[in-house]
A and B are shown apart, each in its own frame.
Chain A
Amino acid sequence: MNVNGMDEVNEEARGAQGAIPIRLAVNGRQRALAVLPHHTLLDVLRDDLGLTGAKECCLVGECGACTVLVDGRTVDACLVLAVEADGAEVLTVEGLAGHGRLSRLQEAFLEKGAAQCGFCIPGQLLSAQALLDANPHPTLPEVQEAMAGNLCRCAGYEQITEAILDVAAEGGR
């Protein structure tokens, strides 16, 4: 922690030619970083900050495995340059659980067996969380539309949908 209360990381990138200083909040924690312009938010989350929940997969914005929230909205982190996130608030799957307890949505995923191989689940959770934040009682078609950008190669769609609808039925408990 430096004098400004910011966590300073990636000293290596700071020295790299062309690196740009950015500040962003990741899971509520202020970070000061130096990033190369051609590094994506996904690169920086995984390689500089060690947050490997968001997965690198299709790299063309089709699979949703790298989904994170930027200023409350889901994005594919593989299609965002890290430098674009300067000043933003980022939420990754690591920020969903608090005080050693899983979120209600994470618990519902466990209860329904929504996670099979688990690779897509961080992205699924964040898309589902963003949906429930905006629309606490979605219909089945609304859930399907909201989750259309998150593919699951295990085809766990039924269980994922059930978990989301379970949380929705509880009425924001």
Chain B
Amino acid sequence: MHAFVYERPGTLADAVALLSRHGPDARLLAGGTDLIIRLRDGSLRPRAVIDVKRVAELEPGIGQDGRTLTIGATAVMTDIAADPRIRDHFAALAEAASVIGSVQIRNRATLAGNICNASPAADTAPALLVYDATVVAAGPSGARRIPIDAFFVRSGHTTLDPREVVTAIELPLPTSRAASVHLRRTRRRGHDLASVTLSCLVDEHGVTRLAYGSVGPRPVLAVDESGVLADARASDAARSAVLEGMLAAASPSPRSMRASPEYRLAMLRVLGMRAVATALTRLAEG
């Protein structure tokens, strides 16, 4: 690994100041499960690594304030998967967090890091999209809230300014009865990146929110307000037509080594229908 300067700011102001001072030569370190691999293989050669884990304002907590659940930027997947509020209200996020990497990876990897890396295969991204999450970032001109759907651009790129640091991810608690699920397809059971990753939420009014990743440069959200997809009495043909429309934005790369575009698109449809069925079952079971 090449040498770099290690910074360990104790406050958010110091972290933002360090980011501004080092500019594009700095990388933020949270869980390090992606960064340290890229430091070692030389694909990233920052002059400074800024470790945000001891920033006082980023206590690795998950907190509830009124109707909003806030996941701090240093909260790790193990804690997100185990949190009772997330399991109750945001099942797809708990399920996505629990299938990332291995126990060792989940003990270090953060939700903030997962979205900032902006891998198209990031498992938490579809879950955050169906829950309409908000990314909270701090920069030289103060705090900013970015809707999750406006955060992802393409692989490795977000709308975050290079001088900004993500401080939290906010999830609005559901206002109506709803149920959700996360599904993925991998080459092997256990420890693998997703060939298709998908989250689905159905509410009591029949609105279906479907989000999927690993089938294009960024994760995609599609919403069925018509109620047809979640209507068990609708014909298979009608429901398939709605699903086709929702999955139309998928454009898997032919260059990926994990799965062919044809396979991904076929599995996307299967996972989509399966996820709607599971969410409906969960909704019925309360």
Which A residues lie at the B interface, using CB under 8 A?
18, 20, 36-40, 59-62, 64, 67, 73-76, 78-81, 83-84, 127, 130, 144-146, 148-150
Kindly list 10 other residue pairs between chains A and B, CB separation below 8 angstroms, not including A81-B49, A149-B101, A149-B105.
A36-B3, A37-B5, A38-B3, A59-B37, A64-B102, A79-B37, A80-B108, A83-B6, A84-B53, A149-B104
Tell me, in angstroms, the Cα distance from A73 to B6 when the chains sit together.
24
Q: Is B190 an interface residue (CB 8 A)?
A: yes
Contacts of A39 in B (CB 8 A): 1
Q: Provide a sorted-by-A list of 5 A–B residue pairs whose CB atoms are within 8 angstroms.
A: A75-B107, A76-B108, A79-B108, A127-B103, A127-B104
Kindly identify which residue among B1, B32, B107 contacts A38, using a CB–CB cutoff of 8 Å.
B1
Contact A73 B102, CB 8 Å, known A20-B6, A81-B6, A84-B51: no
Tell me, in angstroms, the Cα distance from A81 to B29 when the chains sit together.
10
Number of residue pairs spanning A and B whose beta carbons lie under 8 angstroms apart: 82
Tell me, in angstroms, the Cα distance from A130 to B53 when the chains sit together.
23
Evaluate contact between B107 and A74: CB separation under 8 angstroms.
yes
Describe A's contact surface by its main secondary structure.
Answer: mixed
Q: Is B208 an interface residue (CB 8 A)?
A: no
Contact A149 B37, CB 8 Å, known A18-B5, A20-B6, A84-B51: no
Tell me, in angstroms, the Cα distance from A67 to B102 when the chains sit together.
11
Minimum C-beta distance from B108 to chain A (A): 6
Kindly identify which residue among A40, A59, A76 contacts B105, using a CB–CB cutoff of 8 Å.
A76
Q: Is B4 an interface residue (CB 8 A)?
A: yes
Closest 6 CB pairs of A and B: A149-B102, A37-B6, A148-B190, A38-B1, A73-B107, A149-B104
Contacts of B103 in A (CB 8 A): 74, 127, 130, 145-146, 148-149
Tell me, in angstroms, the Cα distance from A67 to B3 when the chains sit together.
24
Minimum C-beta distance from A159 to chain B (A): 18
Q: Is B110 an interface residue (CB 8 A)?
A: no
Kindly identify which residue among B8, B101, B190 contacts A61, using a CB–CB cutoff of 8 Å.
B101
Minimum C-beta distance from B117 to chain A (A): 14
Evaluate contact between B191 and A59: CB separation under 8 angstroms.
no
Minimum C-beta distance from B22 to chain A (A): 14
Which B residues lie at the A interface, using CB under 8 A?
1-6, 8, 29, 32-33, 36-37, 39-40, 49, 51, 53, 78, 101-105, 107-108, 190-191
Evaluate contact between B37 and A61: CB separation under 8 angstroms.
yes
Contacts of B32 in A (CB 8 A): 79-81, 84
Contacts of B1 in A (CB 8 A): 38-40
Name the CB-closest residue of B to A78. B36
Contacts of B78 in A (CB 8 A): 73
Tell me, in angstroms, the Cα distance from A80 to B109 when the chains sit together.
11
Minimum C-beta distance from A163 to chain B (A): 18
Minimum C-beta distance from B138 to chain A (A): 22
Name the CB-closest residue of A to B6. A37
Kindly identify which residue among B2, B33, B39, B104 contacts A67, using a CB–CB cutoff of 8 Å.
B104
Evaluate contact between B104 and A64: CB separation under 8 angstroms.
yes
Tell me, in angstroms, the Cα distance from A79 to B105 when the chains sit together.
9
Name the CB-closest residue of A to B51. A84
Minimum C-beta distance from A16 to chain B (A): 10
Tell me, in angstroms, the Cα distance from A86 to B3 when the chains sit together.
19
Name the CB-closest residue of B to A35. B6
Contacts of A18 in B (CB 8 A): 3, 5
Tell me, in angstroms, the Cα distance from A146 to B62 when the chains sit together.
24
Contact A38 B105, CB 8 Å, known A60-B37, A84-B32, A149-B191: no
Contacts of B191 in A (CB 8 A): 62, 148-149
Tell me, in angstroms, the Cα distance from A64 to B101 when the chains sit together.
11
Tell me, in angstroms, the Cα distance from A39 to B39 when the chains sit together.
11
Evaluate contact between B39 and A38: CB separation under 8 angstroms.
yes
Contacts of A144 in B (CB 8 A): 190
